Structure 1
């Protein structure tokens, strides 16, 4: 697990080694254990720069990067882990390949030597890498199937910058920090910026499941992976068969993610997802598993008691962290700097804080991220299955003229009911996906910005309408947009900000292929969704964990905005120094703040989005 940075520069734009070191070391938090830097020159006098910061987990003594082969043909910088590297190594040895180290990095190089670009299809892991092939004079960039590891790109006039985070790119000499105005609109609609866009005109994300090849001054990207919910026809008929198939695939997904030469543990919320991970880890561990939980003093926001139940049952070495408003504030701006964007979810920051604490005793943790988006856990999945019927019974005009205004007038305590009602009336799939996340509508966003929006998503792939059912369309969207551009982005950036690697067994490609074979009722059927997961854990976890209502990891931002953050909120959004107030309708912004502070409405999500946007604009000195 590491941070990578590098470039391809034309003859007139070469940089010195000091620049490479300085920019790579902006990601010291991603790799405090070691560093490496190397400059190459191509036959056409392009300069290749590779920088690397290392968090040592596999082959601690032998996995230093950049790594070059003995014959000098291949050089690699790599961020991530290849969980099936032992199986791949055995296969490559049988093909005649030789290894000098025990690292998964060298396995990645030799896999490319053997299978070229097709090698990425064989990798079961999380990764972003840059590989220079001197014989072919080409640079290969790749990102893992679900986008657990980031790779940002900036391309201009044959030159390419790439990195694990945005900050090294925008600090590059002469780099333009111009704001992408379309990205601002998408942020209001989604509460995050969908890939491949970022807030900077000059920076793009390499999309999940993509490879990009630079050769002869040209960069071309291709998709190598599509989540199986788009292509797999459900063929598992018996529920007990589904449980058996899930148990086998999940057990293996957890087991191979426990491969480590450094101490490791797990993040434990007390929900079924992380509890299932911990229960499976205990089965494969010869020592007590270390677990880490985070919570709050405010009633209704903490799951620490549930986490302690699981820790007690499985005999883990357990650690709690209570987040106070002051400590949260102290970490807020750093979280935005590490993310390179406004923080979409308030829960990012407690995870950052928990990672700092966990890094004192472990270097890697397993987490439950992705379970809801794979197994069908959110209430919206169950609601989505009935929206077609609602729209057949209720004409669009009736919804817009009667039901929508009525829903908008509901008191702030009915936020979830309002979202369901508004989503039910939205006939456009892309807009309905946005409504579920609590962003602004297209009309509201245009009124806020005072201009028409380009509401077409920057990538239409997540909005495929050719998938078999409404549930599978929504799961596919979440797996290709919501996860990589929000939750998995949080998992990478916030854990690495605390120098911790996060591994996510539910985000396993083999497991995803198994679950895609289940019919819809095996996923969302029954109380609480995730029917197969609950059944598989029924004899392992306490009934109070299996059957308790889903809470989600919530931060008491609603209360904090009305309490300790009251003046901070005003300063960020309605003061003369506010950047956001100059970009959007000041009157509407003041109305949102006033209604929330007076407890007439709960605008915590929108206000959170605007405050984070303000901090981001100030931290990165973005040119509007």
Structure 2
């Protein structure tokens, strides 16, 4: 697990080495165990290739340093991530005649490319963002893993290509235009994140999940190599017990291969069924007690620590807990924005950052439960989507817009979920409905906040293009191609790596995803709380109180803090004379949102959170509209 930064420059300068080192070292937190740098000229002398690497040593601690070049010098690689099936791939490559000097997955990646060229990425079970120079072909390969667990940002300038694991090194490159993308602002208000390939910087783009890009002779071409199995697989499992058995085998393997490590590791344990299932499976494959880490709050209704202790006690883990206080949350908030290179989408980002800093004192890697809901159908929206078509058929649009929705919107402060449901149920446009479930605000409200019309066309329509007849599978496809990579997986990478911790996510295994895609819809959402197959698989392993718990989510008492210890901070960020948002936002509308929330009239915590983070982002990166 590491941080990478590199470039293709059209003209070399004496200070290039110093620049590459300083920009790579902005990601020291991603790789505090070592660094390496490599410079090379193309054969025609037109371009300089520069690679920088920060290393967090987990596999082959003594032999896996990067940049790594092949024995014959043809290939040079910088790599952020892990290839979990590297042992099996190495055995296959040895049988083909390949030789290895190290025990690292990095060298396996190099030799896999030698053997299978660009098709190699389809064989990797792992998470990765890498850059590989092929001297014989005079081409640079950039690739990102199937689900987008690892990031890779790109910036193309005149005669220059920049790439890296985080945005900060790219925008700090001398001469890069840091202009703010105003179109991204509208997307952010609607989604609470900026969908790929866009970022808040015009010049910086995301290499999309499941893509590789080839640079050759000054031209960059991008290709999709992975489509989530839900879009390509016809459900063929008829027996529920067969489904449970298939899931158990695939999940067990997904956890087992993610325990491959030459450094100490553990698990983040929330007390929900996802992380509990991972810990239970880890214990099966571990000779020593598993280390577990949990985070919670003094406000009992927001804390799951009691549930986490139940699992820790049952499986005899070495358990550590962290209570997040408002002061420590506030102290780490700007760091979270800096590391994300964007406004922080989720309030849970900061507790994960705090937990990662604590965990890094005893382990270098943890397994986590991200992706379970998006793979197994665990959100309430997954069940609601299955009847929204009927509702819209029965309910005339005007009745919903003029009666139902206004009535629900007028409900008291604590009815936020009912309001979200009413907004989504009336939205007949698929793009806007997917946004409505977890987004910040509706199109009309976003336009009122901005004081101008906005484009609702997403920067990439792929997440909405599956064409699937099943409403559940359409929603899961969106989750796996937009909500996960651009929000939750981004959170997982940036916040854990900010604390110098690698996070591995068994539910995001491509083989497991292929197995689950074979299940009919009712095997996913047919029971109370969704994730029916997962719950059945864990029924005899985990306590009933964990298996049957409804979906809670990782909640932070931010709404209460806004009205309490953060009250002055909210007003300073959003309605003071010093706010950077003044040129972008409708001030009267914003003041009304703040007043209604602080007075307890309405719960606007989601949109206020989004706007405060936008203000922090503008201040952190010193961006003017």
Which residue pairs with 2:68 in the alignment? 67
Deviations along 1:197-255, one digit per CA (max 9) or x if unpaired, are 00000000000000000001000100000000001010000000000000000000000
Is 2:208 aligned against 1:196? no
Kept in 2: contact 1:14–1:47 (CA 8 A): no
Is 2:504 aligned against 1:491? no
Deviations along 1:392-445, one digit per CA (max 9) or x if unpaired, are 000112111221221221112110011111111100000001110142222221
The whole-number CA distance in structure 1 between the counterparts of 2:378 and 2:14 is 50
Kept in 2: contact 1:154–1:162 (CA 8 A): yes
- Secondary structure (helix, strand or coil) at the match of 1:413 reads coil
Kept in 1: contact 2:466–2:477 (CA 8 A): no
- How do residues 75-224 of structure 1 correspond to structure 2 at under 5 angstroms? 75-224=76-225
Shift of 1:508: 0.2
Kept in 1: contact 2:375–2:476 (CA 8 A): yes
Shift of 1:12: 6.2
Shift of 1:450: 2.0
Which residue pairs with 2:3 in the alignment? 3
- Secondary structure (helix, strand or coil) at the match of 2:583 reads helix
The whole-number CA distance in structure 1 between the counterparts of 2:422 and 2:448 is 22
The whole-number CA distance in structure 2 between the counterparts of 1:342 and 1:409 is 29
Deviations along 1:94-117, one digit per CA (max 9) or x if unpaired, are 101000000000000000000000
Long gaps (5+) in structure 1: none
- How do residues 413-492 of structure 1 correspond to structure 2 at under 5 angstroms? 413-492=414-493
The whole-number CA distance in structure 2 between the counterparts of 1:287 and 1:588 is 57
Which residue pairs with 2:602 in the alignment? 601
The whole-number CA distance in structure 2 between the counterparts of 1:401 and 1:597 is 28
The whole-number CA distance in structure 2 between the counterparts of 1:493 and 1:434 is 23
The whole-number CA distance in structure 1 between the counterparts of 2:253 and 2:20 is 40
The whole-number CA distance in structure 1 between the counterparts of 2:365 and 2:93 is 27
Kept in 1: contact 2:189–2:439 (CA 8 A): no
Long gaps (5+) in structure 2: none
Deviations along 1:343-368, one digit per CA (max 9) or x if unpaired, are 00000000000000000000000001
Task: Give the TM-score taking structure 1 as reference length.
Answer: 0.99
- Secondary structure (helix, strand or coil) at the match of 2:131 reads strand
- Secondary structure (helix, strand or coil) at the match of 2:513 reads helix
Is 2:6 aligned against 1:25? no
Shift of 1:468: 2.9
Shift of 1:623: 3.2
Which residue pairs with 1:364 in the alignment? 365
Which residue pairs with 1:279 in the alignment? 280
- Secondary structure (helix, strand or coil) at the match of 1:172 reads coil
The whole-number CA distance in structure 2 between the counterparts of 1:380 and 1:358 is 33
Kept in 2: contact 1:179–1:623 (CA 8 A): yes
The whole-number CA distance in structure 2 between the counterparts of 1:548 and 1:455 is 37
- Counterparts in 2 of 1:12 and 1:499: CA distance versus 1, 3 Å: closer
The whole-number CA distance in structure 1 between the counterparts of 2:109 and 2:260 is 16
Shift of 1:13: 6.8
Which residue pairs with 1:316 in the alignment? 317
The whole-number CA distance in structure 2 between the counterparts of 1:25 and 1:350 is 25
Kept in 2: contact 1:462–1:476 (CA 8 A): yes
Kept in 2: contact 1:166–1:340 (CA 8 A): yes
The whole-number CA distance in structure 1 between the counterparts of 2:613 and 2:422 is 27
- Secondary structure (helix, strand or coil) at the match of 2:44 reads coil
Kept in 1: contact 2:276–2:311 (CA 8 A): yes
Shift of 1:15: 5.2
Shift of 1:465: 4.7
- Secondary structure (helix, strand or coil) at the match of 2:200 reads coil
Deviations along 1:360-400, one digit per CA (max 9) or x if unpaired, are 00000000110000000001100110000000000112111
Shift of 1:44: 2.9
Shift of 1:449: 1.3
Deviations along 1:126-162, one digit per CA (max 9) or x if unpaired, are 0000000011000000000000000000012242100
Is 2:585 aligned against 1:548? no
Is 2:603 aligned against 1:615? no
Is 2:418 aligned against 1:406? no
Which residue pairs with 1:351 in the alignment? 352
- Secondary structure (helix, strand or coil) at the match of 2:456 reads coil
Kept in 2: contact 1:419–1:438 (CA 8 A): no
- Secondary structure (helix, strand or coil) at the match of 1:233 reads coil
Kept in 2: contact 1:148–1:484 (CA 8 A): yes
- Secondary structure (helix, strand or coil) at the match of 1:506 reads helix
Which residue pairs with 1:525 in the alignment? 526
RMSD over aligned Cα, in angstroms? Answer: 0.9
Which residue pairs with 2:41 in the alignment? 41
The whole-number CA distance in structure 2 between the counterparts of 1:299 and 1:70 is 57
Deviations along 1:279-315, one digit per CA (max 9) or x if unpaired, are 0000000000000000000121000000000000000
- Secondary structure (helix, strand or coil) at the match of 1:11 reads coil
Task: Give the TM-score taking structure 2 as reference length.
Answer: 0.99
The whole-number CA distance in structure 2 between the counterparts of 1:519 and 1:326 is 47
Deviations along 1:555-587, one digit per CA (max 9) or x if unpaired, are 000100000000000000000000113311000
Kept in 1: contact 2:297–2:303 (CA 8 A): yes
Shift of 1:24: 0.1
The whole-number CA distance in structure 2 between the counterparts of 1:247 and 1:15 is 55
